[in-house]
């Protein structure tokens, strides 16, 4: 037995078990298969370098926590060996490198937060400074990196460069007043010059509507008013401006406002929108930019030329409108430029309005809106085609309007327009008929230029221009003809917008007739040679003043848009100034009542309206202190009875709110 056992043991040492041969065979087969198949990751993961005693004993994976996952689930005592953490991952180079990287990132985040807080505090200071003209900005401590990446929310104020004197052409109201001033200086009578510094201070003190909602100064102004107020302002815009110049579809603007305020309402309910916290949270798509411009214009109309909130809406839209001037053109570019011009006009900055409407006119030409064939190629959709026609004729009408107001040339010349270009449709009667009026007014413009150049127009040409204007007005539909003889019945016509259109058509007729005849009043010789025409223009000017006075007493139409109606008033007032400056013996008596009526209108609004305040200062600049003349400190002009009545307009009357009168027409 021993030998057999020993032999067995010896045999086992001499030759391996038989299963080893099979193992080698399987290993060889596995290697051959592995050569044929792609290498795959082993199913068995390596053990973690840190493991508790229980996981080590079981030789299973440990997550290294205290307790680890297994011990925690089985309520076992989780114990780690004293030296288990030696040379762990936390002491590895990889861990140290990651820790340093995270520390560096944390420092950068802290710096960003510090710079952001500084920027926010500076924006608050800048906003406060914008309300205080005496505040001075100090940007020396601004971080260079922030100034390169994040522009200030409110740019610092800079002193405006000294402006050159503005040119006033022969059709402007200022031109007529300048002629009167020149005549007075020839007579040896000087006039007071308005204090520009005082004017700028008056502008800064102009009242503006109170914001409806509290919000951070850096916020988009759409967060400042609620949806119902936006809808109301859109309706006011359509009644005051859109009914005359339909560059936008107010229903589409209202639809955009509805969608926008649904989002704003949801943001406020969920806490996503925080109006009181810093950050612009701006809306800058094209449709919203149009909405902002509508808000800016309407708020300025209601603020009589000045509105802080309206200016904020304009500033919010300005980057998008400015970008339209240098990018590819489309209809929206023209719309935004026209709205920009309208905003400046409502601010009583007519020269700026003329400048921007000239840009809009050139955009129209660049897109071919002045040619029927190019219109048909560019706009195959009927609705878009009609919209393009309305926009072009609106630009044409405003180009004529502000060129007459400033006396500067048109941007759109009739010779460049396609005679086959369709006129505005019947859905916009004012625009349709004012287009025909402007075609006659263009001839009146060149008539004034010829007269200024010394080319006396023949009397029959003057009469024919007047006849054309009268014919144009007589051919208007009854719905657009103003009843100046029965203003009480005129006020009974339903629809405030319709009454405004009727009044405007009547004033346009008088405006054109005054422009035709006014050059006759530029000298006493011309008046004497054309007494009949001189009397005609005096009668038309008096009619304009009487009409505006009566309308102002019976409705708020004049009060709402003073900048619009002041043009007609000042044009008529300039005619009275010219007439009494050159022929006082003839016209003083018959113009006294209308003169005082015009003065009362402007003076009544001057305490509440920025627009009328500027006009009032213009009128004051034509007056002299009557006390110096009455006391004999200044000699009377010779002969004394020819002293124009308005030259003795008492300064106490001009400076006070009393209704005191001096009989200025009985100078002895």
13 or 180: whose pLDDT is higher? 180
Euclidean distance between CA atoms 250 and 233, whole angstroms: 11
Among 218-227, 324-333, 411-420, the range scoring the smallest mean pLDDT is 218-227
Segment 141-152, tens digit of pLDDT: 333 333 333 344
Q: What is the pLDDT of residue 484?
A: 86
Number of domains in the chain: 1
Beta-carbon contacts of residue 658 (< 8 Å; ≥ 6 apart):
652
Q: What percent of the chain has pLDDT over 90?
A: 37
What are the structure tokens assigned to 600, written together? 């009362």
Please say whether the beta carbons of 254 and 284 come within 8 A. no
SS3 at position 77: coil
pTM, to two decimals: 0.69
107 or 259: whose pLDDT is higher? 259
Mean of the per-residue pLDDT values for the chain?
76
Tell me what the mean pLDDT of segment 573-597 comes to: 85
Long-range contacts of 595-604 (CB under 8 A, 24+ apart): 595/645, 595/646, 596/661, 597/545, 597/546, 597/549, 598/545, 598/548, 598/549, 598/569, 598/572, 598/573, 600/549, 601/548, 601/549, 601/552, 601/558, 601/569, 602/566, 602/569
Tell me what the mean pLDDT of segment 59-66 comes to: 84
Asked if the model's pLDDT at residue 576 lies above 50, the reply is yes
Euclidean distance between CA atoms 123 and 125, whole angstroms: 5
Is 642 domain-assigned? no
Give Cα 443 to chain centroid, integer Å: 33
Q: What is the pLDDT of residue 180?
A: 63
Is 11 domain-assigned? no
Beta-carbon contacts of residue 50 (< 8 Å; ≥ 6 apart):
62, 64, 80, 84, 85, 88, 89
Asked if the model's pLDDT at residue 38 lies above 70, the reply is no
Q: What is the pLDDT of residue 159?
A: 62
Is 71 domain-assigned? yes
Asked if the model's pLDDT at residue 511 lies above 70, the reply is yes
Please say whether the beta carbons of 571 and 176 come within 8 A. yes
Which has the closest alpha carbon to 171: 653, 490, 512, 420? Answer: 512
Which has the closest alpha carbon to 501: 224, 206, 145, 244? Answer: 244
Please say whether the beta carbons of 386 and 374 come within 8 A. no
Q: Is the dihedral of CA 552, 557, 562, 565 positive or negative?
A: negative
Asked if the model's pLDDT at residue 302 lies above 70, the reply is yes
Phi, psi of 636 (to 5 degrees): -70, 145
Euclidean distance between CA atoms 611 and 605, whole angstroms: 9
Q: Is the dihedral of CA 437, 439, 444, 448 positive or negative?
A: positive
Q: Match 């100090």 to its residue by tokens.
A: 138
| C-alpha distance across the termini of the chain, in Å | 169
Beta-carbon contacts of residue 242 (< 8 Å; ≥ 6 apart):
248, 250
Is 143 domain-assigned? no
Is 149 domain-assigned? no
Asked if the model's pLDDT at residue 1 lies above 70, the reply is no
Buried b (16+ CB within 10 A) or exposed e, 115-135: beeebbebbbebeebbeeeee
pLDDT band at 460 (very low <50, low <70, confident <90, very high): confident
Q: What is the pLDDT of residue 563?
A: 86
Is 479 domain-assigned? no
Euclidean distance between CA atoms 363 and 331, whole angstroms: 9
259 or 203: whose pLDDT is higher? 259
Please say whether the beta carbons of 237 and 290 come within 8 A. no
CATH number of the domain where residue 65 is located: 4.10.240.10
Euclidean distance between CA atoms 306 and 609, whole angstroms: 8
Asked if the model's pLDDT at residue 153 lies above 70, the reply is no
Tell me what the mean pLDDT of segment 179-208 comes to: 49
Domain that holds residue 61: 47-85
Among 167-171, 324-328, 475-479, the range scoring the smallest mean pLDDT is 167-171
Phi, psi of 262 (to 5 degrees): -65, -45
Q: What is the pLDDT of residue 50?
A: 75
Asked if the model's pLDDT at residue 203 lies above 80, the reply is no
Asked if the model's pLDDT at residue 134 lies above 60, the reply is no
- Quick check: bond before 639 cis, omega within 30? yes
- Quick check: bond before 70 cis, omega within 30? no
Is 65 domain-assigned? yes
pLDDT band at 236 (very low <50, low <70, confident <90, very high): very high
Q: What percent of the chain has pLDDT over 70?
A: 65
Please report, for the chain, how many H helices and E strands are present, in that order.
28, 0
Please say whether the beta carbons of 299 and 307 come within 8 A. yes
Q: What is the pLDDT of residue 627?
A: 30
Segment 598-645, tens digit of pLDDT: 888 877 776 555 656 666 666 665 544 333 333 233 344 444 433 444
Please say whether the beta carbons of 402 and 350 come within 8 A. yes
Is 61 domain-assigned? yes
Please say whether the beta carbons of 432 and 426 come within 8 A. yes
41 or 103: whose pLDDT is higher? 103
Asked if the model's pLDDT at residue 101 lies above 90, the reply is no
Please say whether the beta carbons of 653 and 661 come within 8 A. yes
């Amino acid at each position: 037995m021993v030998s057999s056992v020993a032999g067995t043991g010896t045999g086992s040492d001499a030759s391996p078990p038989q299963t080893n041969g099979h193992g080698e065979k399987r290993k060889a087969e596995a290697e051959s298969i592995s050569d044929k198949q792609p290498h795959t990751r082993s199913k068995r993961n390596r053990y973690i370098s840190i493991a508790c005693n229980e996981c080590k004993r079981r030789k299973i994976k440990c997550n290294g926590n205290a307790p680890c996952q297994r011990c925690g689930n089985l309520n076992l005592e989780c114990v780690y060996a004293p030296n288990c953490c030696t040379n762990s991952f936390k002491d590895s180079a990889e861990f140290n490198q990651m820790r340093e990287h995270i520390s560096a990132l944390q420092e950068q985040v802290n710096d960003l937060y510090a710079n952001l807080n500084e920027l926010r505090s500076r924006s608050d200071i800048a906003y406060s400074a914008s309300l205080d003209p005496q505040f001075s900005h100090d940007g020396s401590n601004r971080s260079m990196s922030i100034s390169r990446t994040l522009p200030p929310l409110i740019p610092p104020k800079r002193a405006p460069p000294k402006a050159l004197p503005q040119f006033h052409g022969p059709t402007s109201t200022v031109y007529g007043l300048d002629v009167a001033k020149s005549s007075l200086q020839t007579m040896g009578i000087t006039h007071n010059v308005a204090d520009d510094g005082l004017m700028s201070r008056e502008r800064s003190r102009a009242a503006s509507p109170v914001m409806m909602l509290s919000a951070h100064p850096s916020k988009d102004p759409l967060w400042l008013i609620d949806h119902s107020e936006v809808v109301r302002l859109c309706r006011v815009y359509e009644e005051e401006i859109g009914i005359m110049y339909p560059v936008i579809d107010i229903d589409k603007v209202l639809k955009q406002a509805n969608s926008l305020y649904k989002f704003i309402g949801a943001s406020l309910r969920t806490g996503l929108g925080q109006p009181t916290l810093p950050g612009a949270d701006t809306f800058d798509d094209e449709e919203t930019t149009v909405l902002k411009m509508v808000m800016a214009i309407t708020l300025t109309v209601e603020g009589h030329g000045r509105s802080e909130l309206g200016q904020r809406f304009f500033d919010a839209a300005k980057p998008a409108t400015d970008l339209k001037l240098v990018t590819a053109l489309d209809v929206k570019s023209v719309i935004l430029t026209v709205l920009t011009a309208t905003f400046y006009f409502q601010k009583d900055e007519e020269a700026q309005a003329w400048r921007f409407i000239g840009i809009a006119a050139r955009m129209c030409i660049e897109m071919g809106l002045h040619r029927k064939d190019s219109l048909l190629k560019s706009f195959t959709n009927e609705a878009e085609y009609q919209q393009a026609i309305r926009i072009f004729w609106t630009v044409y009408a405003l180009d004529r309007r502000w060129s007459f107001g400033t006396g500067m040339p048109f941007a759109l010349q009739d010779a460049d327009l396609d005679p086959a270009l369709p006129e505005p449709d019947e859905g916009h009667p004012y625009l349709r008929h004012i287009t025909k009026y402007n075609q006659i007014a263009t001839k009146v413009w060149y008539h004034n230029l010829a007269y200024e150049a010394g080319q006396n127009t023949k009397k029959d040409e003057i009469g024919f221009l007047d006849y054309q204007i009268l014919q144009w007005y007589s051919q208007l539909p009854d719905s657009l003809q103003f009843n100046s003889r029965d203003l009480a019945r005129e006020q009974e016509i339903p629809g405030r917008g319709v009454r405004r259109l009727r009044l405007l058509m009547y004033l346009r007729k008088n405006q054109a007739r005054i422009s035709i005849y006014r050059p006759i009043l530029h000298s006493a010789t011309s008046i004497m040679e054309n007494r009949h025409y001189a009397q005609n223009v005096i009668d038309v000017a008096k009619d304009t003043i009487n009409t505006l006075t009566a309308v102002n007493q019976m409705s708020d139409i004049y009060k709402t848009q003073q900048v619009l109606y002041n043009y007609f008033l000042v044009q008529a007032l300039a005619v009275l100034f010219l007439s009494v400056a050159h022929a006082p013996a003839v016209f003083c008596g018959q113009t006294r009542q209308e003169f005082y009526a015009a003065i009362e209108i402007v003076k009544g609004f001057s305490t509440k309206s920025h627009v009328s305040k500027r006009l009032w200062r213009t009128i004051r600049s034509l007056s002299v202190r009557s006390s110096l003349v009455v006391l004999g400190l200044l000699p009377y002009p010779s002969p004394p009875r020819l002293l124009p009545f308005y030259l003795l307009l008492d300064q106490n009357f001009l400076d006070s709110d009393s209704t005191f009168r001096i009989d200025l027409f009985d100078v002895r």
